[in-house]
């Protein structure tokens, strides 16, 4: 009977060793993947900063361009309820004589 107990004990030790080895392997893989993800995140952050700088420079360059001229025929608009009424420029009146 002691031989069976010894065989069971050896089997339990082997199973425990395999499980521990498997966990260590998984942890190493997870650390490697975590390292890769951190590296990719840093690259993404750098690319986002570069893109935001590029966008800011483009906006700054566009703001230096001349603004479109306002057509003097289009006067201010007065909104009264649902109706839109254009205020038309009236010619200056001459004083009554």
pLDDT single digits (tens) 6-41: 999 999 999 999 999 999 999 999 999 999 999 999
Token pair 């649902």 is found at 82
Task: Count other C-beta atoms under 10 Å from residue 82's C-beta.
Answer: 5
Distance CA 18, CA 79 (A): 80
pTM over 0.75: no
In DSSP terms, which residues pair with 34 in a beta bridge? none
Which residues lie below 8 Å from residue 87, measured CB to CB, with a gap of 6+?
Answer: 75, 76, 77, 78
Strands (E), the chain: 77-80, 83-86
pLDDT digits (tens, 9 = 90+) for 51-79: 999 999 888 887 766 555 666 666 555 55
Domain extents for the chain? Answer: 2-86
Cβ distance 62 to 51 under 8 Å? no
- Model confidence at 89: pLDDT above 60: no
Mean pLDDT of the chain: 81
């Amino acid at each position: 009977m002691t031989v069976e107990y010894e065989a069971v004990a050896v089997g339990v030790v082997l199973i425990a060793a395999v499980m521990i080895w498997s966990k260590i392997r998984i942890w190493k893989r997870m650390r490697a993947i975590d390292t890769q993800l951190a590296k990719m995140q840093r690259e993404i952050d750098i690319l986002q900063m570069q893109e935001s700088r590029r966008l800011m420079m483009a906006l700054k360059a566009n703001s230096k361009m001349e603004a479109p001229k306002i057509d003097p025929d289009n006067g201010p608009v007065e909104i009264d309820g649902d109706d839109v009424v254009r205020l038309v420029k009236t010619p200056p009146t001459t004083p009554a004589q």
